[in-house]
Structures are given as C-alpha cells and as structure tokens.
Amino acid sequence: MTSTHSSRRARSVALLGVAAGAAACAGAPVVLNQFGNPLRHSPAPTAPEISVADLKTRLYLFADDSMQGRQYGRLGNMKGTEYIARELQRLGVEPAGENGTYFQEMPVVQRRFAATSALSADGRALRWVDDWIATPGPKPRDINGVAIVFGGTTGDTANMISAADAAGKLVVMLPPAAGGGAGGFGAIAATNQRLAGAAGVATVNLDGVTRTARAFVNDDPSGVLVASASELSPGATEAQLAAERAGPPPAQLRLTRAGAEALLGAGLDGLRPGASGPTASAHLDHIETPVRKYARNVVGIIRGSDPKLAGTYVALGAHPDHVGYTRSPADHDSLKLYNDARLAVQMKGGDLHAATAEELAAIRINLDSVRKLRPPRPDSIRNGADDDGSGSMALLEIAEAVSAMKVKPRRSLLFAWNNGEEAGLLGSAWYTMHPTVPRDSIVAQINIDMIGRGRKDDLPGGGDDYLAVVGSNRLSSELGREVVAVNLRQPAPFRLDYRFDTTTAWPGYNNIYGRSDHANYARFGIPIVFFFTGLHGDYHQLTDEPQYIDYPHYARITQYIADLVVDLANRERRPALDRRP
C-alpha cells in the first residue's frame, strides 16, 4: 500500500482531469475524473450484451441527483422503481408483482403531526416549533387534562421518578447527560420502559435545533413507518410486537428550555424529579398518509424453457432504495477528498482500523488544484450509485441479456428488487412473507449489494479481480461449489474473498451476512449467495456517485453472475440443502 501523502497528492493532480475530445454539449469539453468517468453521462440505447456502456447508461440514470437518493417512502424511491418497471416492460420481462403489475406495494404510511397541533398548561398555550413539537410515530395516547410532572434526566434511572408516579401524566425529561454513560442505548431503553405508562414524555432537547430543522421533523417524509410491525412479523422484534399489543404509545414531545419552564410553571434549575406542575391539554393533529407507491418491491419473471423445471425459480435480488438527501448541502469536492483521506488513514498498515481522533484531526485537505478546475459544488443527494444502484442495474442488465437468449434457461428467473433494505430489510421480509411464486419453488437466491467498487484504495485486498462472496456454503455446499466452478470458467477468474462469512474486526464490517436481503430468503431455507465488492470511503455518503464506479470491474462481475444464474437455472437438480437455517 502506497503512503497516504503520495496517493493524496496523486489524487488531487488526477482530479485536474483531462479534456476528452467528445463534447458533452456543444463545444464544452467533457472532463473525466481520475477513473476516466464524467460527472454527467448522456444515456445511449442499450444492447443485449452485458457491457460497460449499458451499465453506465443505466447507473447514471438510476443514481442521478433527480432520483433524490431513492429513499424508502419518498418520491425519489418511486422514480427509481418506475424506471426499473419501464425497462422490464421494454425488455418483455413478465410482470410478477400484484394484479398483473411489476409492483408489490407494502402497507407503508407516512406519519406526522400538523402545525395545527396544540399544547397548553393550565390554558396557557405553548407555541408550535418555537416552544415544542411532537415527534412522528404511531398515533399516541390523548393528553387531556393530565398532570404535568418533572421526571428527571433521561437514562438516570437511579434518580428519575417511578413508573407509578409517571403513569397517566405528561412527564418532562431532561436529555441524557452529554458524554455520560446515561445516554447509552440500555439506559434509554430503561427510561422508555419506566415511562411506558405516561400519557406523554416531553424531552427538553430543542434548544440546539434551528427553527427550520424543528419544522422539518414533521415535514420530512423520512418519518415513514410500516403500518404495523405485526404485518412484518418475522422481521419485527418482540419489543415492536409487544408495544403494538399494548395499544397507543405515550406521545413523544420535544421542548425548548423556555417551553419546559412554561409547561411546568417553574424554573428547571435545581428542580427535583417528582416536582408537579399544572394540568396539560393537547390536541395532537396526527396525520397518516399511505405511501404505498413510494415503498414497493419490483418483481419480474423470465419464464424457463423446460416445462418440467419452469415452475421453479432462480431468484436474483438487489435493493432499489438508498438513504435520500440531507437538509444542508456540503461541498462535494472537499467531502470527497476528506472521505478518501480518512479511508487512507484507516488502511495504513495494510489492514483496516478505526481512525483515532488524532488521526482524523491530522487530515489536511488541499483544494487548490480542484478549485483551478471547477467551483465548489454544493451537494445534498446521497446518490447510492454503488449502494445499491450497482446491484439494481446489474439485475436489469442480466434481464436484458437473458431476454435476448434464443433458448431460455430451463428453470425460470425471478428478478426481485427488494425495497426498504436501508430501512431494515423491509421489502425482502415482506416479499418472502408474501411471495408471488410458491416460496419452496425458489431453488436459490443470488443477492447483489454494492458491486461497483472494490479497488485497492477502497479496502485491503481490493483490486481488479476482487469479489467478496458471503453465505454460499451456509445452506448448500453444492451452491458453494457452483459459485467456484463458474468463476473458474471466467476469462479472468475473480479472487473470491470469503472473509465476511465470519466476523471480521474491520470497522463497519460487522455481521455482513445479516445486513442485506439474502438473509430474509435464507431464513426460509432458500440457499443464498451474496456478492459485494466491499465498503469504501463513500459508503452512505453524498459522494457515492456514478462517476466513482469501476465500470470494467463491475461489468465483469455482472457477466459472472449472469453465467452463474444461467448455470443454476439449467441444472437438472436444485442445489441440495446441507442444513436448515
């Protein structure tokens, strides 16, 4: 591994870029980055062959800023699934969603409180946003003529009021002590448990939040939740199910310090837990909007050619969603250079370690050369080009290649874009709970999530021939052997990396097996294999853009997966299960 200094200097020079001959738009030279990719790319008609050109056309479209980061439950997500469905139709792939469409909608709602919500203490009204807001969630309990009480500090279970004293009241809580242990997940959960019987919990944590941000809490559609946890029973945690059975939860409110003192009718300084205040009444204007179109799986089938086997399926999966946009834009170039520098620090010494505060503080970004090339570019879109634009578009490219085959594979191919992956594997949980083909007719599932990077600067061991494989031997060693055999038949076989089959100490790489959609297929005893080229400095960042994808590597991986899928679909016997999940 070369040292960070030289590579950073090399990198900023490379950013100078070269003026390519082809004019993007009349007269304007197309500037290519250090990977030979432009910032914007003009789409071209695609062809049956799996190619760099097609993948570029698709990915620059699917991960364009106009897709707004394709967040589950938002408009951008619908634009993404629309594009996939239009392409499937164009390719003649059979719809396999609901009602003859490509779509399988999920019962997802957007929940928020309208600005017409009101809160008062002994008739003295507090001001929405200026003094308080309500946090989006399931419809809460009423707050009608209930006593207000000061509860103490969140997480400080030793000193806060008892559950009995909190029951049926509006409890005002201070936020967890900064940096203290009291803020840990366990302490917060213990606080929620203690206050589960309250009519509402109002936390004093609005002062550090701008007015815009306060208003955004209820205007930000990311407050999207599945209609009810039990509808996703296998994916829902026991706590979620228990909470649902318990009926409406306490209202969750947020207050400024002034709002809290108005509510309590007393100063907070020196106030002891249990100090009671006036009587509260609230009208919480809860709005629930179904956003099923913004949260739908996309499913298509290429029917098999062998009547004996066409009723069985080799499934391919990817997730069309990503994590949306940020409220405040950042300068793209500085963030990119910083993310690259941070990863270089983490990869010092050949392994991957969490960067220390000192190492991070020592990072210096040199923008001069970039500024000579272009002005700052404010960026607020998390494009998700690699995550998981690369998998989603690889599926389309494979569908196009197989659609063009004169003789289709013997078994059928089931293409499923499992939505809501970033929101907790929701779409694959829903699809495997409500499959549109008999679940036991799925002989294997090939899941693809992030196959567009994997360079040597992205992770230790990365390179042109790098590919990580997860779970291929977990349920069926026959599948595992097939993965190896088809790889060896590639013109340039990949160096298959199995290290994520077991836990690694690498920061950010914990439990890779459980962190993507294949896990929901595997739990039903379907043999799976998961392909990815590793995380990188742009993971879940504004900088995960199409221009940073390694297209030749990506195209070779897509071709390999296409070959594997066709091979599996032509097998006489389905991969045997060695063990149950």
Q: Which stretch binds Zn ion (CB under 5 A): 159-167, 305-313, 354-362, 383-391?
A: 383-391
State in angstroms the smallest separation of the CB of 555 from Zn ion: 20
How far apart are alpha carbons 39 and 369 in whole angstroms? 17
β-strand 28-32 against 18-25: which pairing, if any? antiparallel
How far apart are alpha carbons 512 and 362 in whole angstroms? 30
Closest CA to 467 of 503, 492, 489: 492
Is the CB of 172 or the CB of 451 nearer to Zn ion? 451
- List C-alpha distances in Å: 496 to 19, 484, 499, 569: 37, 8, 9, 22
State in angstroms the smallest separation of the CB of 319 from Zn ion: 6
Phi, psi (rounded to 5 degrees) for 443: -85, -20
Segment 422-481, which members bind Zn ion (CB under 5 A)?
Answer: 449
Phi, psi (rounded to 5 degrees) for 58: -70, -45
Is the CB of 383 or the CB of 412 nearer to Zn ion? 383
Closest CA to 482 of 531, 529, 412, 534: 529
Is the CB of 151 or the CB of 317 nearer to Zn ion? 317
Is the CB of 379 or the CB of 388 nearer to Zn ion? 388
Binding-residue pattern over the window 387 to 406 for Zn ion, x denoting contact by CB under 5 A: xx------------------
Cα-Cα-Cα-Cα torsion 404, 407, 411, 414, nearest 10 degrees, comes to 10
State in angstroms the smallest separation of the CB of 421 from Zn ion: 6
Is the CB of 87 or the CB of 388 nearer to Zn ion? 388
Q: Which stretch binds Zn ion (CB under 5 A): 15-23, 166-174, 309-317, 384-392?
A: 384-392
State in angstroms the smallest separation of the CB of 516 from Zn ion: 6
State in angstroms the smallest separation of the CB of 449 from Zn ion: 4
Segment 349-368, which members bind Zn ion (CB under 5 A)?
Answer: none
Q: Which two tokens stand for residue 512?
A: 């890779």
How far apart are alpha carbons 71 and 422 in whole angstroms? 8
Count of Cβ atoms closer than 10 Å to residue 53 Cβ:
16
Binding-residue pattern over the window 241 to 280 for Zn ion, x denoting contact by CB under 5 A: ----------------------------------------
Q: How far is CA 219 from the centre of its chain?
A: 20
Is the CB of 333 or the CB of 387 nearer to Zn ion? 387
How far apart are alpha carbons 228 and 212 in whole angstroms? 30
State in angstroms the smallest separation of the CB of 517 from Zn ion: 9
Q: Which two tokens stand for residue 555?
A: 């195209």
Is the CB of 249 or the CB of 389 nearer to Zn ion? 389
Q: What are the strands, taking DSSP E only, across 4-67?
A: 18-25, 28-32
Angle, in degrees to the nearest 10, between helices 551-570 and 477-488: 130
Q: How far is CA 280 from the centre of its chain?
A: 39
Is the CB of 420 or the CB of 575 nearer to Zn ion? 420
State in angstroms the smallest separation of the CB of 536 from Zn ion: 12
Angle, in degrees to the nearest 10, between helices 4-16 and 332-346: 150
State in angstroms the smallest separation of the CB of 459 from Zn ion: 15
State in angstroms the smallest separation of the CB of 388 from Zn ion: 4
Residues that bind Zn ion (rule: CB under 5 A) add up to a total of 3
State in angstroms the smallest separation of the CB of 74 from Zn ion: 17
Is the CB of 261 or the CB of 386 nearer to Zn ion? 386
Closest CA to 447 of 302, 549, 564: 564
Q: How far is CA 462 from the centre of its chain?
A: 23
Is the CB of 59 or the CB of 282 nearer to Zn ion? 59
Q: What are the strands, taking DSSP E only, across 168-256?
A: 170-174, 200-204, 224-226, 251-255
State in angstroms the smallest separation of the CB of 543 from Zn ion: 16
Is the CB of 449 or the CB of 550 nearer to Zn ion? 449
- DSSP readout, 491-548? SS--EEE-GGGS---STT-TTGGGGSTHHHHHTTT--EEEEE----TTTTSTT--GGG
State in angstroms the smallest separation of the CB of 534 from Zn ion: 12
**Bridge partners (DSSP) listed for residue 124:** 121
State in angstroms the smallest separation of the CB of 322 from Zn ion: 7
- Consecutive H or E run containing 568: helix 551-570
Is the CB of 60 or the CB of 539 nearer to Zn ion? 539
Q: Are 137 and 284 in contact (CB under 8 A)?
A: no
- DSSP readout, 193-211? HHTTTSSEEEEE--TTS-H
State in angstroms the smallest separation of the CB of 387 from Zn ion: 4
Q: Which two tokens stand for residue 69?
A: 């980061």
* Residue 321 in contact with Zn ion, rule: CB under 5 A: no
Is the CB of 165 or the CB of 517 nearer to Zn ion? 517
Is the CB of 99 or the CB of 511 nearer to Zn ion? 511
Residues of this chain that bind Zn ion (CB under 5 A): 387-388, 449
